[in-house]
Amino acid sequence: ELQFPERLNCATELLDRWVEAGQGDRLCIQGEGLRWTYADLQAQANAMAHVLVQDLGLVPGNRVLLRGANTPYLAACWFAIQKAGGIAVATMPLLRCGELVQVIQKAEVSHALCDERLIAELRSAQAKCPTLRQVLLFHSEASDGLEARAANKPGTFRNVDTGAEDCSLIAFTSGTTGKPKGTMHFHRDVMAICRCWPPHVLKPLPEDVFIGSPPLAFTFGLGGLLLFPMTVGASTVLLEKASPEALLAAIETYRATICFTAPTSYRVMSPQLGGHDVSCLRRCVSAGEALPAATRALWKAASGIELIDGIGATELLHIFISHEAERAKPGATGVPVPGYRAVVLDDAGYVLPAGQVGRLAVKGPTGCRYLADDRQQAYVLNGWNLTGDAYCVDVDGYFIYQARTDDMIISGGYNIAGPEVEACLLLHPSVAECGVVGQADEARGQIVKAFVVLRAGEVASDALVQALQDFVKAHLAPYKYPRVIEFCATLPRTETGKLQRFRLRENGP
């Protein structure tokens, strides 16, 4: 059981603590040519907190929209909000006006801090958002921008004495269907994720240099690229653009040691590793979607590093099933992270024995609290979080991912998990990326359809279709083979690297 004091502010714990301990000179954040120590970040956040309180009239409990690509300034804004007792509502940089309106209305946002380069969509949203009283630009040279205002403010600030159960952030799910859901997380939740997965699984050192692609608006990025390095006094590199190519180059430039990104990014980086010196890397973390065994093998062969897989969810804030690098099992996500329990349930809610596929249920120090949303009842049952994933447990207690429960393909009475067929196709030397979905079929209800991106130099042909079908039949139960294969140049993915199966089902690639 994790214990927290009744009063707790995550900015005090993660940021101020280091300065108070005489470690303010340690390197904390790099990016955009900046190199901030812990003391630098603290001074920035303190001055910004004064701006929030004095100039914008922020009071504890106000919800503050944050909008920007990953930069040191965005991180300083995040901590300024925590210091002032506000609630951070970070948004993905690519969100459009309509999506911003939904977030602002749902979270009753009163203040916004927005990177000047992303202001256009927010300005159009503002007209439809009466709760939004104050919008301040950061990363800006404007005379009334955040930097200009912060320049006249003191570098010290007395953090608001927040309660451990006061809300620290509202994270929105990247939901592919329905309206976006806001998930509330308390200051103690922020500290809880820092005490579970990092010390037991990642085991970072104070010398580590973290890097990666997920936006800080995605809790995978917030934890991996900001909270976790600061838990041990390590440093982080925030990249505004983190395409696989840019990430690879940055790993080399910054001599990064711990990398966070999605499986697809490891697949794209693997063949390009030869052109870079990435001997600095010691840990690589994959999350966001299932890690196929072929991708684990590809990255290991290219870099020598065993990927650490982990399943997390916005509802649970961070990773709850994972494995230490030394305990990797190809095809398995891992075991419950210390602090969490996980079981696989049948439809009636009974725990299933090893080998049987059912619904994943998770319980731990963090959990789902949807903001004013009746979908809460469906996600949490008797304290167990139902993530919407189909899993089975093997005889060693490892959790094996199958599919999102609503992505299971039912063909001719068989249940088929698309990701299993994808993992198989990825073992074929011609395949770079693939997505497998169900296609409506009169005779079978659904049939298995694969969208395949070929590796450089490979050519699409009927013979290759046949070869891929035979390949699947030889590795998996033959009824799982894709009856239709369509070749394409790219697959539709979210900003977080997730395959958008609904788009494949509806419109194809």
Q: Which residues of the chain form contacts with ligand 3UK (CB under 6 A)?
A: 173-174, 219-220, 287-291, 309-314, 318-319, 333, 387-389, 401, 404, 496
Concatenated DSSP letters for 250-282?
HHHHHT--EEEE-HHHHHHHGGGGGGS--TT--
Between strands 27-31 and 431-441, the pairing is unpaired
The kind and range of the H/E element at 248 are helix 244-254
Q: How far is CA 184 from the centre of its chain?
A: 16
Check: CB of residue 273 under 8 Å from CB of residue 295: no
Q: How far is the CB of 346 from ligand 3UK (least distance, A)?
A: 19
Q: How far is the CB of 41 from ligand 3UK (least distance, A)?
A: 23
Q: State which residue, 255 or 498, has the beta carbon closest to ligand 3UK.
A: 498
Q: State which residue, 337 or 447, has the beta carbon closest to ligand 3UK.
A: 337
Q: State which residue, 147 or 309, has the beta carbon closest to ligand 3UK.
A: 309
Q: How far is the CB of 440 from ligand 3UK (least distance, A)?
A: 23
How many Å is the Cα radius of gyration of the chain?
23
Cβ-based burial of 334 (10 A; exposed 0-12, middle 13-18, buried ≥19): buried
Residue nearest to ligand 3UK (CB): 312
Concatenated DSSP letters for 212-241?
E-S-TTSHHHHIIIIIHHHHTT-EEE--S-
Q: How far is the CB of 218 from ligand 3UK (least distance, A)?
A: 6
CA 49 – CA 331 distance, rounded (Å): 46
Q: State which residue, 388 or 445, has the beta carbon closest to ligand 3UK.
A: 388
Q: State which residue, 199 or 388, has the beta carbon closest to ligand 3UK.
A: 388
CA 446 – CA 76 distance, rounded (Å): 50
Q: How far is the CB of 314 from ligand 3UK (least distance, A)?
A: 3
Q: State which residue, 344 or 468, has the beta carbon closest to ligand 3UK.
A: 344
Q: How far is the CB of 432 from ligand 3UK (least distance, A)?
A: 20
Q: How far is the CB of 444 from ligand 3UK (least distance, A)?
A: 26
Q: How far apart are the first and last CA of the chain?
A: 46
Q: State which residue, 284 or 287, has the beta carbon closest to ligand 3UK.
A: 287
Residue type, 272: Q
